[in-house]
Amino acid sequence: MVKFLPLSEAVAWNLNDGDTVAFEGFTHLIPTAAAHEAIRQGFRELTLIRMTPDLIYDQMIGMGMARKIVFSYLGNPGVGLLRRARDAIENGFPRLIEVEEHSHAGMANAYEAGAAGLPCAVFRGYRGAGLAAVNPNIKTVSCPFTGEVLAAVPAIRPDVTFIHAQKADRKGNVLVEGIIGIQKEAVLAAKRAVVTVEEVVDNFDELHPNLTVLPSWTISAISVVPGGSHPSYTHGYYIRDNAAYLEWDEIAADREKFRAWMQKNVMERTADDFAARVEHLRIAA
Amino acid sequence: MSDSKLGFTPNEMMTIAASRALKNNDVCFVGIGAPSAACNVARLTHAPDITLIYESGTIGTAPNVLPLSIGDGELCDTAVTTVSVPEMFRYWLQGGRISIGFLGAAQLDKFGNINTTVIGDYLHPKTRLPGGGGAPEIATSSKEIYITMAQSKRGMVETIDFYTSFGHGEGGDHRKRLGIETAGPTLLITDLAIWKPDPVTKEFTVVSLHPGVSRAEVQATCGWTVKFTDALEETPAPTALELKTLRDLQARTKAAHAATGKEKAA
């Protein structure tokens, strides 16, 4: 059953060196606080899965935690490139990382297959695309009914998935709303799931019946971390800190500047520091 | 070409020319950057009912400011509905609901193939770019593809380093031979000209020069030998309404994106 835990304990109990882990969030609801906790605890040899790796995987790669990265868009959304990830891929700094690259359609289908308990996903994709030639995990199958040749990719089954969400009720059911991305599939595809939430409410009695609610028994641990997705945003709570994404481009451009920033803003901080970071971004009630 | 003399910049002309290509009944899958500006200018001028879709799952969105990312909250707040990412790619894109996929490009060749993955060798890249995101399937599942980018010799090249998304391949019927049934790139709008593929070879050919632009300028900023159609036209200059709409949108956007930083510093 789900446990409400301080984030440091939720991460320590669910993540291990060498794990295949997804910290998911499609621009919205990025689990930054959970990623920073994993960085502080110094996990190693991780296989990092994410459709849109953005800042937190740039940080984890820059800290030397990743053995391999599986992704479909390795950018700082709307800003440009991920400079720590580039340094690893282009120069092997701080270490070489293995790359498995897909398209969004490929990863979305692969997560869905993972949630559905299937070994692989089948879809109409990668036609004429160079990725099919460089990624051995992109194959084809023929439709047994029409003969159409379709793309196939293996299902994604993370050891653990981390997501951020709006709220949990006291029983540990979790509400995700707004741009819901791939979070439901990433949780249901994983062996374990850890959710950070903005707040805990008594119950979900007043919710619309079709909202995305993850039942408590699909989740391993919940941690209450207000502001836990900063500089991403939480729909209904605070807006995206676009300026922070622009600033990151400069911080990550330089190895020393990056290290200093990580020391000051991650290593010497705790999950409790996130609430203050979103104060000026909160949506007026 | 003097901007002050014309009263608009080449980039403004590009965005406005691109916006005019969109129709009121289009269902458009919007790439971030230049396509996003063009699509929203269309919505705010001649195509108020256009359906704009961003890959984050927002369908029928009408942002008041241009989003910095494809998943800004503004897109969800103003959308008709917001669906999950797998639903977006399976039902809406793969399902054949998209009339226009609107893409930008880091590197483009004359057949509309796009590279946003690597400069150099894939395994040992000189520059690791962000990659394809949704583009590989947008390029093959949308009924048509429009591309917009500013011209440069680095960007418009004879041979791209990686086929992130497939245009017309080596030209001719290459799409058909790969089992791709959609039309692929049918329009390229740059800061200097409007291009359309030759009906047979599928090579992009200049059909219209923007006001004040010469053939020599188009060639000087393009890495392949440019073909011009016999009946070359001049793109109509932006109207006062188009320019005002674009500039107001960009001013609102700039103010909104700067706001988070300013308050932080205060």
Categorize the per-residue pLDDT at B266 as very low, low, confident or very high, splitting at 50, 70 and 90. very low
Domain made up of A3-102+157-281: CATH architecture: 3-Layer(aba) Sandwich (3.40)
Indicate yes or no: CB of A124 within 8 angstroms of CB of B261.
Answer: no
Mean pLDDT across chain A: 96
Q: Give Cβ neighbours of residue B194 (< 8 Å, ≥ 6 apart).
A: B17, B187, B188, B206, B207, B208, B210, B235
Indicate yes or no: CB of A130 within 8 angstroms of CB of B164.
Answer: yes
Asked if A83 and A247 count as a contact pair (C-beta separation under 8 A), the reply is no
User: With left for phi above 0 and alpha for psi between -120 and 50, is residue A201 left, alpha or beta?
Assistant: beta
A53: pLDDT strictly greater than 50: yes
pLDDT, tens only, A157-198 = 999 999 999 999 999 999 999 999 999 999 999 999 999 999
Interface of B with A in 15-74 (CB under 8 A): 32-33, 55-58, 67-73
Q: What percent of chain A has pLDDT over 90?
A: 96
Active site residues of B: 55
pLDDT, tens only, A193-250 = 999 999 999 999 999 999 999 999 999 999 999 999 999 999 999 999 988 999 999 9
Q: What's the pLDDT score for residue B256? A: 83
Residues of B with CB below 8 A from A74's CB? Answer: 128, 130-131
Q: Give Cβ neighbours of residue B181 (< 8 Å, ≥ 6 apart).
A: none
Both structure tokens of A194: 């850890």
pLDDT, tens only, B169-196 = 999 999 999 999 999 999 999 999 999 9
Instruction: Give the nearest chain A residue to B95 (CA atoms).
Output: A124
Q: β-strand B118-120 against B125-128: which pairing, if any?
A: antiparallel
* Mean per-residue pLDDT, A1-27: 97
Q: What is the pTM of this model?
A: 0.95
B27: pLDDT strictly greater than 60: yes
3-state secondary structure chain B: CCHHHHCCCHHHHHHHHHHHCCCCCCEEEECCCHHHHHHHHHHHCCCCCCEEEECCCEECCCCCCCCCCCCCHHHHHCCCEECCHHHHHHHHHHCCCCCEEEECCCEECCCCCEECCEEECCCCEEEECCCCCCHHHHHHHCCEEEEECCCCCCCECCCCCCCCECCCCCCCCHHHHCCCCCCCEEEEECCCEEEEECCCCCCEEEEEECCCCCHHHHHHCCCCCCEEEEEEEECCCCCHHHHHHHHHHHHHHHHHHHHHHHHHHC
Instruction: Give the nearest chain B residue to A147 (CA atoms).
Output: B179
pLDDT, tens only, B64-114 = 999 888 888 889 999 999 999 999 999 999 999 999 999 999 899 999 999
AA letter at B42: A
B202: pLDDT strictly greater than 60: yes
Instruction: Give the gap in angstroms from C-alpha A9 to the nearest C-alpha of chain B.
Output: 30
Q: What percent of chain B has pLDDT over 90?
A: 87
Residues of A with CB below 8 A from B118's CB? Answer: none
Indicate yes or no: CB of B122 within 8 angstroms of CB of A111.
Answer: no
Residues of A with CB below 8 A from B37's CB? Answer: none
* Mean per-residue pLDDT, B197-216: 98
Number of domains in chain B: 1
Q: What's the pLDDT score for residue B6? A: 85
Query: Distance between CA B33 and CA B136 in Å, rounded?
Result: 17
Categorize the per-residue pLDDT at B263 as very low, low, confident or very high, splitting at 50, 70 and 90. very low
Domain hosting residue B234, numbered range: 3-265
Query: Distance between CA B57 and CA B75 in Å, rounded?
Result: 9
Interface of B with A in 157-216 (CB under 8 A): 162-166, 169, 174-175, 178-180
> Which residue's structure tokens are 């800290």?
A63
Q: β-strand B204-209 against B193-197: which pairing, if any?
A: antiparallel
Indicate yes or no: CB of A125 within 8 angstroms of CB of B137.
Answer: yes
Helix axes B240-265, B10-20, angle to 10 degrees: 110
Query: Distance between CA A228 and CA A234 in Å, rounded?
Result: 9
CA angle B67, A99, A120 (to 5 degrees): 85
User: What CATH number does residue B245 fall under?
Assistant: 3.40.1080.10
Query: Distance between CA B110 and CA A282 in Å, rounded?
Result: 47
Instruction: Give the gap in angstroms from C-alpha B212 to the nearest C-alpha of chain A.
Output: 31
CB pairs under 8 A between A and B: 199
B101 touches chain A (CB under 8 A): no
* Mean per-residue pLDDT, A74-83: 90
Indicate yes or no: CB of B263 within 8 angstroms of CB of A104.
Answer: no
Instruction: Give the nearest chain A residue to B253 (CA atoms).
Output: A242
Compare CB distances from B73 to A105, A180, A240 and report the shortest one's residue: A240
Query: Distance between CA B239 and CA B150 in Å, rounded?
Result: 21
Q: What is the ipTM of this complex?
A: 0.95
Indicate yes or no: CB of A90 within 8 angstroms of CB of B126.
Answer: yes
Q: What's the pLDDT score for residue B4? A: 59
B262: pLDDT strictly greater than 80: no
* Mean per-residue pLDDT, A96-109: 97
Indicate yes or no: CB of B32 within 8 angstroms of CB of A78.
Answer: yes
Instruction: Give the nearest chain B residue to A99 (CA atoms).
Output: B123
A284: pLDDT strictly greater than 80: no
Residue span(s) of chain A under CATH 3.40.1080.10 come to 3-102+157-281
Compare CB distances from B166 to A26, A78, A127 and report the shortest one's residue: A127
Both structure tokens of A76: 């700082």
Instruction: Give the gap in angstroms from C-alpha A246 to the nearest C-alpha of chain B.
Output: 9
Instruction: Give the gap in angstroms from C-alpha B166 to the nearest C-alpha of chain A.
Output: 5
pLDDT, tens only, B133-161 = 999 999 999 999 999 999 999 999 999 99
Asked if A198 and A234 count as a contact pair (C-beta separation under 8 A), the reply is yes
Instruction: Give the gap in angstroms from C-alpha B20 to the nearest C-alpha of chain A.
Output: 24
Categorize the per-residue pLDDT at B260 as very low, low, confident or very high, splitting at 50, 70 and 90. low
Q: Give Cβ neighbours of residue B32 (< 8 Å, ≥ 6 apart).
A: A77, A78, B54, B67, B69, B70, B104
Residues of B with CB below 8 A from A124's CB? Answer: 94, 137, 140-141
Asked if A176 and A31 count as a contact pair (C-beta separation under 8 A), the reply is no
Q: What's the pLDDT score for residue B265? A: 37
* Mean per-residue pLDDT, A56-83: 95
